[in-house]
């Protein structure tokens, strides 16, 4: 009890100190950026996400925490613009919740969520998941094998992070459950092979997003050049393999794994997701899971390529670069759902009424994710209203004088911005144009001499920091999707993943510091990987692999 009170007091004190600095930088009456081209945002713009994230980690309750962040941002905007109570309601409801729910891109993601949830229910009702779990129990005999299988599937599904999270989660849950791997650990394995894999895959929605932020240079070529310098993504993969093979855990994850070995996969809040999709038949086979997943993958990839103009004459790479991921995933998932329903009807493992019931059940399973996503999108729009982009842009532009330290600075700024706003795409969308502006003279001759190493390193630092912040943030779309795919309590996922992500971030920061002085990919990547492995072996020496909890008394009190 005293420990919780101390945490609350520290949080309140930190918020008060931050507000004092906000007032010192700029009065609250001028906190909103009216003209984004000339005005500079203020520290006020980051206060709402700081409140939301802090409250979520302290209270373990994500919905009210996100709403508190939204409301605080609306109050700041209303005071700044002098619009009073009506202005608060406008920011929260009209410009926030309603605008984000009605946004076509967001609606496409919500449709994809619901349809994918329905497909998962279909596979479960048809007995495919149960049959796959039984098959996997015979062939995947260890916890190491289950973890590595999850990692491998995550690497193979590199097209899109949303698709990755939900597909890997639905396929691997029966396997990891059989081997008593906690849902928090499963969520980490999913999250660590979602954005970190997509950001180093040349054919993915992320490659398209990055290439779209640069001008006067071949975007895909530049993206491929950044892959060896994307330290956070590469080192995260190293860490996942090490943890899976050695079975070493630390921080809150250790407690969750100890409880999972004893039979409690959730540690807390085990009823977040409804379990109303049990098999309706005993005729299920492994093919009833494998074939629907393959149909879903092919259908979604073709949907994305279609929106990018593949059937209009564009090449595969250009189609991915120009695709509308939201529309493509919606098209693909709906098409896959229809084909899968027909397949199960032909197999006579499900009745038509049972197939239609799966739509409602799938929607119910996705309600937690939908609520968190809508609140997270609204918080991002409030943060944008307060001028977070302009504030960060001003910081980066002031830091460009010290070019040797620029990779490290960009990594740190991108990490902070992505963590606070929950969007990696928005983060590198802000920072990469700044970097290309700083090095505009070198880029003008890039077609003849090649893209300068410092440009590649700095853009890589932006991408790595954005993915790292996205990986850590409770309000990140991908983090929310990983919780949904694993059917894990969202706050549990965030709190257990944070120490792992911060470990990789610290090593990446050292790597970018070295990169500012030694612009050689072999030296930078080699030293970074060696340092990462050294740190992991140090962690193994400290914690061992027996997964004994450090605070048994606290565990008992939490269960009470």
Amino acid 441: pLDDT: 60
Residue 237 in tokens: 């993969």
SS3 letters across 183-230:
HHHHHHHHHHCCHHHHCCCCCCHHHHHHHCCCCCCCHHHHHHHHHHHC
The larger pLDDT score, comparing residue 11 to residue 273, is at: 11
What are 460-488's pLDDT values in tens digits? Answer: 999 999 999 988 888 888 898 899 888 88
Check pLDDT > 90 for residue 270. no
Q: Rounded distance, CA 175 to CA 173, Å?
A: 5
CA distances from 127 to 270, 286, 338 (A): 23, 8, 18
Query: Which pLDDT score, from 0 to 100, does residue 460 have?
Result: 93
Could you tell me which residue, 407 or 560, shows the higher pLDDT? 407
- At 246, which helix (H) or strand (E)? helix 231-246
Residue with tokens 């040349």: 202
Residues written for the chain: 560
Cβ neighbour number for residue 473 with a 10 Å cutoff: 28
Is 70 exceeded by the pLDDT of residue 558? no
What was the pLDDT predicted at 551?
41
* Higher local confidence (pLDDT), 308 or 550: 308
Residues 381 and 378: their CA atoms lie apart, in Å, by 5
DSSP H helices, 386-520, are 388-399, 406-421, 424-438, 440-444, 446-449, 453-472, 477-486, 490-517
Q: How confident is the model at residue 59 (pLDDT cuts 50, 70, 90)?
A: confident
Model confidence pLDDT, tens digit, residues 148-197: 999 988 888 776 787 788 778 878 888 898 889 999 999 999 999 988 99
Task: Look up the pTM and report it.
Answer: 0.77
Task: Say if residue 85's pLDDT is above 50.
Answer: yes
The per-residue pLDDT for 556 is: 36
pLDDT in tens, 120-133: 788 888 888 778 77
Cβ atoms 344, 288 nearer than 8 A: yes
The Cα-based distances of 513 to 250, 393, 507, 531 in angstroms read 27, 21, 10, 13
């Amino acid at each position: 009890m005293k420990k919780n009170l101390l945490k609350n007091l520290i949080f309140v004190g930190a918020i008060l100190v931050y507000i004092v600095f906000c007032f010192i930088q700029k009065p609250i009456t001028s906190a909103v950026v009216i003209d984004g081209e000339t005005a500079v945002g203020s520290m006020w713009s980051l206060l709402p996400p700081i409140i939301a994230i802090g409250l979520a980690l302290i209270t373990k309750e994500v919905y009210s925490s996100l709403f508190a962040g939204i409301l605080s941002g609306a109050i700041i905007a209303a005071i700044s613009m002098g619009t009073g109570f009506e202005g608060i309601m406008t920011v929260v409801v009209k410009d926030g919740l309603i605008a984000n729910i009605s946004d076509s891109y967001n609606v496409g993601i919500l449709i994809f969520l619901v349809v994918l949830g329905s497909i998962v229910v279909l596979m479960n009702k048809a007995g495919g998941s149960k049959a796959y779990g039984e098959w996997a129990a015979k062939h995947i005999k260890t916890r190491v094998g289950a973890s590595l299988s999850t990692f491998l599937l995550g690497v193979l599904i590199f097209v899109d992070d949303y698709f990755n999270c939900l597909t890997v989660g639905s396929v691997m849950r029966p396997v990891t459950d059989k081997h008593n791997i906690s849902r928090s650990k499963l969520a980490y394995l999913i999250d660590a092979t979602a954005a970190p894999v997509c950001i180093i895959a040349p054919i993915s929605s992320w490659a398209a997003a990055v290439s779209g932020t640069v001008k006067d240079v071949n975007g895909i070529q530049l993206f491929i050049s950044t892959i060896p310098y994307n330290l956070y993504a590469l080192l995260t993969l190293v860490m996942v393999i090490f943890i899976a093979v050695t079975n070493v855990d630390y921080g809150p994850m250790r407690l969750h794994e100890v409880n999972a070995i004893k039979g409690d996969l959730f540690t807390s809040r085990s009823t977040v997701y409804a379990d109303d999709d049990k098999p309706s038949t005993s005729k299920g086979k492994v093919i009833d899971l494998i074939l629907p997943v393959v149909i879903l993958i092919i259908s979604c990839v073709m949907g994305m390529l279609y929106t990018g103009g593949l059937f209009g004459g564009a090449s595969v790479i250009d189609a991915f670069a120009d695709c509308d991921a939201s529309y493509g995933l919606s098209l693909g998932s709906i098409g896959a759902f229809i084909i899968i329903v027909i397949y199960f009807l032909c197999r006579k493992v499900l009745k038509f009424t049972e197939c239609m019931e799966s739509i409602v059940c799938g929607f119910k399973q996705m309600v937690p994710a939908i609520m968190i996503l809508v609140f997270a999108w609204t918080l991002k729009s409030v943060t944008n209203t307060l001028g977070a982009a302009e504030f960060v842009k001003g910081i980066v532009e002031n830091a460009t004088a010290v070019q040797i330290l620029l990779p490290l600075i960009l990594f740190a700024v991108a990490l902070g911005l992505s963590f606070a706003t929950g969007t990696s795409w928005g983060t590198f969308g802000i920072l990469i144009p700044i970097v290309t502006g700083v090095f505009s003279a070198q880029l003008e001759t890039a077609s003849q001499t090649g893209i300068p190493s410092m440009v590649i390193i700095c853009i890589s630092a932006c991408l790595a920091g954005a993915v790292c912040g996205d990986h850590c943030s409770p309000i990140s779309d991908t983090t929310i999707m990983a919780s949904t795919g694993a059917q894990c309590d969202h706050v549990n996922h965030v709190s257990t993943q944070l120490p792992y992500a911060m470990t990789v971030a610290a090593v990446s920061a050292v790597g970018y510091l070295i990169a500012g002085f030694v612009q050689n990919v072999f030296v930078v990547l080699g030293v970074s990987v060696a340092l990462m492995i050294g740190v992991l072996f140090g962690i193994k020496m400290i914690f061992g692999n027996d997964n004994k909890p450090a605070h048994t008394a606290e565990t008992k009190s939490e269960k009470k």
